[in-house]
Structure formats: structure tokens, C-alpha cells
């Protein structure tokens, strides 16, 4: 990969092709700099020799041999340069173990030095070798306390297990220290092994031992096992203390078993054991978790009344819980009370900011942030992440980016969560191209992408229907040794099924067990739903049966999906069987179930049966929703009962259900089909008045009515003139006349066209490939005093590219750029491809070079432009030219992407080889 970044990308792609299959070699990095000049060497040679590792060790050992070595000037001058590995060599090589031990303790007192696990091991090894066991247990305890991570404590345990003999047996103090550290890092399994070993060696546990084990188990939710240890306290005739009871309360609260937690609390009081602030905090947190906020507040008051001062931790969870519940005033009141007792810290403000942002009270969150600064508290990365999340959620994306850039420019470096928030924000806006820029930064600079990062991006691509890039991300994920999880496959299955690619989704489903992931209910439901939407009833039912055999019970959504495809196929008997099976499984039909059945019946022209289902639905107290009524409106209009459908919409509104564009469009279509176009326009006005925005389908229905009206008038004129009808008019001019007529009739009926109207119409025309009419529409729009939006420009540009109208596309691109509209990656790609197709390669190359200045992700450029577009058009040589341009700009894709490109180039080259030259 390093070679790829330095050398020719084109060369490496060709090399990969020549030697496939190949294995990526382990790369070694030479960290040595250029050789020093003789002058530089002479000036620093003496100093380097004096403070070389060997010289330091030798000088210290010589100093230790002298009386009064602690005040030795040589030792004092060398000591600031001492590292743990020096100390390890000194204690191992010095002739006197007692002096080595004294030096070991002496050096640890200096503020600039700290022993590591290796130096402790060397000292203990030396004492054991010389059979000086007196100090071993004390050193062992210090070594355990020095562990700063789970990896270190496990390494120490492995080291201890290598010793045998009574001299090396642990004391009770050593065992307790080890258990406390294992509890600190949450290593339950290792703590249980240590505890059993302790009992097997007849070391009598004390209350600290048992309390530590109870606490570790309760933190991990193993309350039943903690109760067994608790029984040992009684068995050994010890008295449980506040720590014992508080740990058990914590365990039950984490299990959401508040009844048992309060039972322990009252038992504690009965035994005369006074609770402390941690006891109350655990109970308060448990109440908040259950949403019992008033009771939590009462417990805080009870604490104060009993003279137990709440800590900052006591308030943090209730404050956040009030925010999450949307009780902003209550949260701020509690904060004011808190300030009278204890000072809020960074975590308190961060919890508040996160909670307020999460429920949309961003201005309050910003105010709390400013208050935090005034209180002299320095926000941490979690604080900034909460603000970034809030800004992204509320659409204030530029503010989120400002915070991110501010963090990057100072010591408050963004972590993976910060990047994930920004990436998620871009994906929510449909801008995966921008999200990939940040992903590229994570790959090259760090922090490395997490499984969450990949999942967000995969979801972002799938929402846009860019399924190939989602698959590539999965490949990149695996290559970077980031294992896909259940959520990865949930996104892949639902995404591929959404875009009608159930065959690929099925492949992912079969791949899951190979990765050690057992398909869950969500995975089965996604694939079953996908099969149902494609009408693959047999596949859906087969998977449904497999789901039950696999011990994964289907849920209501699964049944609804199957009922949907059966009811649309008008298989009424099968529908009844599935409904009965659903009830047998203990699941009652919900509003979606009834609506699914109603929708199927309506689409089959059986609204009478659909209304009977509606009656049954209401009898079961299942309230019809918007989709229920929309299905009925559609069914009635399909049967020519538009008046009845309109009465149904009136009923909807009386019940407080607002019709959407689908409901209104069905009703307008119903009246237009009956030849009542004026009524259709009146309904459009009603639609506008309800704040419901028409879509292109709505306008198409009205255009269909106008076309029929025009043809009817034309036929009357021709009949009166006794002429034979012939369509001599140009279809396109007639089509645009209809659009002009539509806008005029809208104005007559009080539906003044807006920018959004033109945007919707232009997008619809462009999707139909009618870019000329769309151009005329935009011209009309500008004559009416409206400005074209970036969405209109995008639609026009893509339509011109599809129609190979290169000059028109470039003109739109120039207009878009001149009006300072931000460019999308796919716009550049569309233009480059149409320039290539029309053999305007120099212009394509120039545009590509300009595009690279926008800092897009090189991986996405290769995926979307090279692999998906140019290679499919057979432009291999031009791909290599552009790859060379990327390399010259230091915009190199990852090695995995180069391998993907190499495979695709090989396929294209293979297809070019004449059949007689291909290998058999």
C-alpha cells in the first residue's frame, strides 16, 4: 500500500493483472532517516555514547556499588534519562539483589519515572532467582496496582501462573488487590477463576473479598450468582455492610427488578446499616430507567432530609432522564436545586446537553454549553459530540461542521464517534459523497473506522439505491479486519430487498452463519418482506417455515408481509389460514394487519369486503390510520365511486387524520376518470389549503384530464368541419401546451404555482427523458420571476446527459456553478461519462482534474466513475489515464479498491480477447 501511494497506480494495477491470483505481502517500513554527515556525527557522538543504553546501565550499576549511592551526582544526572527497560536490565544484572531492590524503590519515587509491567517482572524474577522471597508479595501487589488496562492485568495473571511453590503463594491481601483490579476492568471470568483458586488454596476470604466478588457479579447483571456469595457472608458469620447491600441493589436495578432492589434497601435499614449516597444513587438511577421520575425526585429529597448529601452522580441520570422525556422545565429546575448542594461537572452538563439535543431543544443545549464555559468547565469530546449530533438532527449542518473543524484545529481531537455523527448527518441528507470524504480521512489519518461507521455508510448508500457501493464497503470492512455485526446484515438485507435484489439479499443471509452470526427475527422478516414485495410467495412461505424451525418466532410484521402478497393475489382462503395461524401464535392483528387486508381487497375491486374488514377492525378497537383510509379511497375511485371516496376523506378529517398526497391523488384521479376535471382542480386547491404538497403523479393525473379535454374539443371541431382526425401537431409542443394550460388552470382555481411546483414538474419531465420540455418549463419559470433551484439544475443536467445533449448539460453546469450551488460527485461523474461517450476526452480529463480539487473520496471516485461507468463502456485506457492523474495529485485509493479495479479491468480485457485466443 505504501508503494502504491508513492509509485505509479497504473503500474500497480497492471502488475496485479499480470500476476493474479496474488497475495498482498506484509509491508515493512524503514524508519531510518538519511545518514548523518561526518560533522553531525562528530558533534553528537560523545553525547550519544555517554547516554547509550549500555553505558547508562553500566554507570548505574557502578554507582550502586559505592557507599552513599543515593546522593551520587552521576546517578542524579543519569536518572532523568532512565526508562523502565533500563531499570529492568539494572536489576537483572547488578550483583547485589538487596541493592537492586533498594534502587528499584528509590527510582520509583522520582516524579519523572514510572515502573511498567516489564520492570516489575524483572525485579520479581531477580528476587526469585536469588531466593529472596520476603519482598515478592509486596512487589506483586504494587505490580497489580500498576496495571492500567485489561490487557496488562491479564498479562500479569499469565505471568503469575508460570510460578509454583509455597514461597510464591498469594496472600489474602494479594488476592484482594487482584480481584479489585479485575473488577475495575470488568474481567468477570478471570475474577471467578482467581476466587476459586483462592478457596482451593485454603485462603480464608474476608468481607472485602466477598464484597468485591458481589460487586463484580452485580455490575455484570449476575445477581443470582452474587446472592450465592452473599450467603457465604452469613455462613462465615460476617455482617454485610453498606457496600454489600449497595452492590446487590445495583445488580437488581440493572435487571430492572426494582421490587427486589427496594426489598434489599428496606432489609438494610432494618439491619441498622445506614445507606450512603451511592445506595440512593443506584435506586434513583433504577427508577429513572423505568420512567418513574417523580419517585426518583422524592428519593433525592429523602436523602437530603436524612442528611445524606447527594453527589454530582446522583443528579446526572435524573437530569438526562427528564431531558429524554421532554420535561425541559423540570430538568432545569433540578439543575438549579443541584447547584445549591453540589457543583455540576463536565459529565452533568454533557448529559444535559445530550438530552436536550436529543429531544430537539438545541437552543437550550447551546445555552447550557455557554453556561458550562462560564462556570470554568472545559467541554470534552463527548460534549462536542452531543452538540454535533443535535445540530445534525435539526438540520443545522454547517454549525456541526464548524464544531468539527474547531475540534480538529485544537487539542480536542475528534474521536470515532465524532466522525460517525458527521458521517451520519451527511448520509441523512443523501450526501454519501460528502460522508465518504470523512471516511477517507479516517482511513488515512485516524481514528480508524468502527463497525458503526461502516454500518452508517452502508445504510446511506442503500437508501439511495447505490447497492454496489454498499457491497464494496462490506468488502473493505472485512479487508480492514472490522467484522460485520448483526446490524450490518440487517441493513444489507433490508436495503437490497427494498431495491428488488432479493437474490443478493439471500446470498448475504446464507453468508451470516459462516461469520458466526445467527439470523434473528429482523433478518428473517426483511428477507420475507422482500420476497413478498416481489410476489415470490413460495420463497416467502418457505423461509417463513424455516424461521419457525430455526427457533425464531415470526412477529406481527412477518405475518403482515405475507398477508399483503396473499391478499393482493386475492387468495382469500390462504389469507384466513395465515390469520388463524397468527392468532394461534398469540398475536393479535394490529392496524397494519387490517390495513394490509383492506389494501389487497381494494386493489382487487372488492371494496364491500374491505369495508367489512374496517367494521371488524373498529369492533376490535383498532383505530384506522391514514393508510387504511387511503386504501379505501383508492378502491372506491377504482370502482368509479368518487363521491363516496370524497365523503370518506371528510370522515378522515373529522377524526383528525390529515389526507396525504397519495389520498388526494387517488381522489383527483377518480374524478378526472369520470370526466370531472374542474372538480379535480378544486381538490387540488383543497390539497394546497391542507398544506399537502402535490407530487408529479398528482400533476400527471390533471395533465391526463387536460389532454382528454383537449382531444374532446378537437374531435368536436373536426366533426363540425366534417374532417377526418389526424394528429399532425407535434407531440412535444402539445405536451408543453398542456403544461402551460395546467399552470394557467391552477392559477384560475386559486393554486398559484410556486418554485416547488416547477421543481416537481421539471424533475418528473427529466425522469421521463423529456429534457426539452423541462427546459421550456424552466424558461417559463424565469419569465414569471422565479429562480431555478439546484434541484432543477441537477434534474436538467442528468436528463441532458442521458440524452447525450452535451453542450446543453455543460451550459447547465456552468449556470449551476455561477450561482454558487454546491456540486455533487454524481454530477461530475455524469458529465465526464457523457463527454467520453461523445469522444470529447480532453474535456473529460480537464473536468476530472477540476473535480479532484473538490477533495472527494478517491475510493468512491474509482467505484462510481471507473468501475461502474467507464469500464462498463469499455474505456480501460482512459481509466488508466485518469488513475495516473489521481496519483499525480496524491489522491490514491486504498489497496482494496485498487484490487477491485484490477479485477474489473481483467474482466473487460478478457471480454476483448477474440474467442480463438481465449484459454479453454
Half-sphere exposure for 416 (CA within 13 Å, toward CB): 11
Q: Give just the sign of the alpha carbon dihedral 241, 244, 246, 248.
A: negative
pLDDT of residue 80: 86
Average pLDDT over residues 567-572: 69
DSSP 823: P
In sequence order, which residues have a C-beta less than 8 Å from that of residue 554 and are 6 or more positions away? Answer: 521, 524, 525, 544, 547, 548, 585
Nearest Cα to 646, choosing from 656, 661, 636, 660?
636
Residue 533 predicted with pLDDT over 60: yes
Q: For the segment 63-87, what is each residue's pLDDT rounded down to a tens digit?
A: 888 888 888 888 888 888 889 999 9
Residue 134 predicted with pLDDT over 60: yes
Average pLDDT over residues 498-506: 95
- Give the C-alpha separation, 625 to 763, whole Å: 30
The three cell numbers locating residue 724 = 377526418
The SS3 of residue 660 is coil
Pair 668, 698: CB distance under 8 Å = yes
pLDDT of residue 42: 42
pLDDT of residue 20: 42
- Name the band, by pLDDT with cuts 50, 70 and 90, for residue 156: very high
Residue 540 has phi, psi (to 5 degrees) of -65, -45
Helix (H) or strand (E) holding 661, with range, is: helix 661-673
- Name the band, by pLDDT with cuts 50, 70 and 90, for residue 721: low
- Name the band, by pLDDT with cuts 50, 70 and 90, for residue 575: confident
- Give the C-alpha separation, 561 to 596, whole Å: 8
The three cell numbers locating residue 910 = 478478457
- Give the C-alpha separation, 482 to 442, whole Å: 14
The three cell numbers locating residue 625 = 390510520
Residue 812 has phi, psi (to 5 degrees) of -65, -40
User: Which long-range contacts does 270-275 make (Cβ < 8 Å, 24+ apart)?
Assistant: 271/240, 273/240, 273/241, 273/242, 273/245, 274/242, 275/242, 275/245, 275/246, 275/308
Residue 177 predicted with pLDDT over 60: yes
| Highest mean pLDDT: which range of 149-153, 333-337, 632-636 | 632-636
Cα distances from 156 to residues 118, 147, 167, 680, in angstroms, run 10, 8, 18, 80
**427-444: buried (b, 16+ CB within 10 Å) or exposed (e) per residue?**
bbeebbbbbbbbbbbbbe
CB atoms within 10 A of CB 18: 10
Pair 799, 769: CB distance under 8 Å = yes
- Give the C-alpha separation, 132 to 126, whole Å: 8
Residue 715 predicted with pLDDT over 80: no
pLDDT of residue 169: 81
pLDDT of residue 570: 63
Nearest Cα to 568, choosing from 631, 630, 623, 622?
631
- Name the band, by pLDDT with cuts 50, 70 and 90, for residue 915: very low
Q: For the segment 24-51, what is each residue's pLDDT rounded down to a tens digit?
A: 322 222 222 233 343 433 444 434 444 4
- Name the band, by pLDDT with cuts 50, 70 and 90, for residue 919: very low
- Name the band, by pLDDT with cuts 50, 70 and 90, for residue 725: very low
Q: For the segment 268-289, what is each residue's pLDDT rounded down to a tens digit?
A: 999 999 999 999 999 999 999 9
Pair 211, 241: CB distance under 8 Å = yes
Q: What is the four-CA torsion angle of 753, 757, 761, 766, rounded to 10 degrees?
A: 130
Pair 167, 133: CB distance under 8 Å = yes
Instruction: Express as a percent the part of the chain with pLDDT over 90.
Output: 54
pLDDT of residue 636: 96
DSSP string covering 116-145, please? -HHHHHHHHHHHHHTT--TTHHHHHHHHHH
pLDDT of residue 40: 39
**400-415: buried (b, 16+ CB within 10 Å) or exposed (e) per residue?**
bbebbeebeeeebebb
In sequence order, which residues have a C-beta less than 8 Å from that of residue 166 and are 6 or more positions away? Answer: none
Q: Residue 315, preceding bond cis, omega within 30 degrees? A: no
The three cell numbers locating residue 59 = 554507570
When mean pLDDT is compared across 253-262, 290-299, 667-676, 713-722, the lowest value belongs to: 713-722
Amino acid at each position: 500500500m505504501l508503494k502504491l501511494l508513492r509509485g505509479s497506480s497504473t503500474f500497480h494495477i497492471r502488475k496485479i493483472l499480470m500476476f493474479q491470483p496474488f497475495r498482498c505481502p506484509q509491508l515493512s517500513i524503514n524508519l531510518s532517516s538519511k545518514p548523518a554527515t561526518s560533522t553531525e556525527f562528530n558533534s553528537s557522538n560523545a553525547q550519544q555514547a555517554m547516554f547509550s543504553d549500555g553505558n547508562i546501565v553500566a554507570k548505574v550499576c557502578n554507582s550502586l556499588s559505592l557507599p552513599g549511592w543515593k546522593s551520587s551526582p552521576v546517578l542524579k544526572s543519569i536518572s532523568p534519562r532512565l526508562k523502565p527497560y533500563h531499570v529492568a536490565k539494572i536489576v537483572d544484572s547488578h550483583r547485589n539483589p538487596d541493592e537492586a531492590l533498594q534502587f528499584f524503590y528509590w527510582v520509583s519515587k522520582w516524579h519523572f519515572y514510572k515502573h511498567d509491567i516489564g520492570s516489575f517482572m524483572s525485579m520479581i524474577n531477580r528476587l526469585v532467582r536469588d531466593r529472596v522471597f520476603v519482598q515478592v508479595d509486596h512487589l506483586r501487589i504494587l505490580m497489580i496496582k500498576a496495571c492500567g488496562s485489561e490487557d496488562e492485568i491479564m498479562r500479569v495473571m499469565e505471568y503469575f501462573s508460570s510460578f509454583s511453590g509455597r514461597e510464591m503463594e498469594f496472600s489474602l491481601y494479594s488476592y484482594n488487590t487482584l480481584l479489585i483490579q479485575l473488577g475495575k476492568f470488568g474481567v468477570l471470568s478471570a475474577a471467578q477463576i482467581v476466587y476459586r483458586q483462592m478457596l482451593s488454596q485454603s485462603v480464608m476470604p474476608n468481607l472485602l473479598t466477598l464484597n468485591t466478588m458481589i460487586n463484580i457479579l452485580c455490575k455484570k447483571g449476575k445477581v443470582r450468582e452474587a446472592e450465592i456469595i452473599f450467603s457465604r457472608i452469613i455462613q462465615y458469620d460476617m455482617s454485610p455492610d453498606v457496600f454489600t447491600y449497595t452492590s446487590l441493589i445495583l445488580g437488581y436495578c440493572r435487571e430492572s427488578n426494582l421490587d427486589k432492589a427496594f426489598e434489599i434497601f428496606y432489609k438494610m435499614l432494618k439491619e441498622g446499616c445506614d445507606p450512603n449516597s451511592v445506595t440512593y444513587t443506584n435506586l434513583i438511577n433504577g427508577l429513572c430507567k423505568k420512567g418513574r421520575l417523580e419517585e426518583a425526585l422524592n428519593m433525592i429529597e429523602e436523602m437530603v432530609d436524612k442528611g445524606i448529601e447527594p453527589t454530582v452522580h446522583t443528579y446526572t441520570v435524573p437530569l438526562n432522564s427528564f431531558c429524554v422525556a421532554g420535561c425541559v422545565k423540570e430538568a432545569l429546575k433540578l439543575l438549579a436545586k443541584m447547584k445549591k448542594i453540589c457543583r455540576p461537572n463536565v459529565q452533568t452538563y454533557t448529559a444535559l446537553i445530550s438530552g436536550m439535543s436529543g429531544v430537539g431543544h438545541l437552543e437550550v443545549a447551546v445555552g447550557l454549553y455557554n453556561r458550562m464555559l462560564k462556570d470554568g468547565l472545559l467541554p470534552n469530546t463527548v460534549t462536542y459530540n452531543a452538540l454535533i449530533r443535535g445540530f445534525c438532527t435539526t438540520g443545522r449542518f454547517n454549525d456541526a461542521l464548524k464544531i468539527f473543524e474547531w475540534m480538529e484545529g485544537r487539542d480536542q481531537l475528534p474521536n470515532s464517534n465524532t466522525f460517525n455523527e458527521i458521517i451520519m448527518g451527511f448520509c441523512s441528507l443523501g450526501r454519501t459523497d460528502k460522508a465518504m470524504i470523512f471516511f477517507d480521512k479516517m482511513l488515512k489519518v485516524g481514528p480508524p473506522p468502527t463497525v458503526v461507521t461502516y454500518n452508517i455508510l452502508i445504510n446511506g448508500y442503500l437508501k439511495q439505491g447505490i447497492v454496489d457501493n454498499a457491497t464494496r464497503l462490506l468488502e473493505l470492512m472485512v479487508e480492514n479486519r472490522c467484522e460485520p455485526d448483526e446490524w450490518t446484515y440487517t441493513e444489507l438485507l433490508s436495503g437490497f430487498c427494498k431495491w428488488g435484489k432479493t437474490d443478493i439479499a439471500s446470498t448475504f443471509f446464507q453468508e451470516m452463519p459462516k461469520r458466526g452470526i445467527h439470523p434473528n427475527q429482523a433478518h428473517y422478516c426483511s428477507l420475507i418482506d422482500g420476497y413478498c414485495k416481489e410476489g415470490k410467495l413460495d420463497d416467502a412461505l418457505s423461509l417463513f417455515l424455516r424461521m419457525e424451525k430455526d427457533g425464531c418466532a415470526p412477529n406481527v410484521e412477518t405475518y403482515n408481509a405475507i398477508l399483503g402478497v396473499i391478499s393482493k393475489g386475492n387468495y382469500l382462503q390462504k389469507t384466513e389460514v395465515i390469520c388463524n395461524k397468527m392468532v394461534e401464535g398469540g398475536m393479535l392483528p394490529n392496524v397494519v394487519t387490517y390495513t394490509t387486508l383492506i389494501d389487497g381487497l381494494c386493489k382487487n375491486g372488492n371494496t364491500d369486503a374491505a369495508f367489512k374488514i374496517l367494521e371488524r377492525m373498529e369492533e376490535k378497537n383498532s383505530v384506522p390510520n391514514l393508510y387504511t383510509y387511503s386504501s379505501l379511497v383508492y378502491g372506491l375511485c377504482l370502482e368509479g365511486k368518487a363521491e363516496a371516496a370524497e365523503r370518506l376523506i371528510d370522515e378522515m378529517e373529522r377524526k383528525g387524520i390529515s389526507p396525504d398526497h397519495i389520498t388526494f391523488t387517488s381522489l383527483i384521479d377518480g374524478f378526472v376518470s369520470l370526466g370531472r376535471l374542474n372538480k379535480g382542480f378544486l381538490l387540488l386547491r383543497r390539497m394546497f389549503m391542507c398544506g399537502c404538497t402535490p407530487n408529479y403523479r398528482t400533476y400527471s393525473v390533471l395533465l391526463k384530464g387536460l389532454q382528454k379535454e383537449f382531444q374532446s374539443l378537437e374531435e368536436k371541431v373536426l366533426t363540425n368541419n366534417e374532417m377526418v382526425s389526424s394528429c399532425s401537431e407535434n407531440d412535444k409542443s402539445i405536451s408543453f401546451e398542456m403544461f402551460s394550460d395546467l399552470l394557467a388552470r391552477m392559477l384560475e382555481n386559486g393554486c398559484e404555482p410556486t418554485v416547488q411546483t416547477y421543481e416537481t414538474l421539471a424533475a418528473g419531465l427529466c425522469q421521463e427523458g423529456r429534457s426539452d420540455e423541462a427546459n421550456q418549463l424552466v424558461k417559463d419559470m424565469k419569465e414569471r420571476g422565479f429562480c431555478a433551484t439546484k434541484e432543477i439544475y441537477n434534474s436538467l443536467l442528468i436528463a441532458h446527459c442521458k440524452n447525450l445533449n452535451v453542450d446543453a448539460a455543460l451550459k447547465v453546469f456552468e449556470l449551476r456553478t455561477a450561482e454558487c450551488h454546491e456540486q455533487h460527485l454524481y454530477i461530475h461523474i455524469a458529465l465526464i461519462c457523457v463527454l467520453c461517450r461523445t469522444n470529447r476526452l480532453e474535456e473529460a480529463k480537464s473536468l476530472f482534474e477540476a473535480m479532484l480539487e473538490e477533495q472527494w473520496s478517491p475510493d468512491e471516485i474509482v467505484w462510481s466513475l471507473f468501475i461502474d461507468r467507464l469500464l462498463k463502456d469499455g474505456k480501460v485506457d482512459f481509466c488508466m489515464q485518469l488513475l495516473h492523474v489521481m496519483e499525480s495529485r496524491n489522491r490514491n485509493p486504498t489497496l482494496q479498491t485498487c484490487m477491485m479495479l484490477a479485477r474489473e479491468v481483467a474482466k473487460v480485457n478478457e471480454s476483448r480477447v477474440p474467442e480463438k485466443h481465449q484459454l479453454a
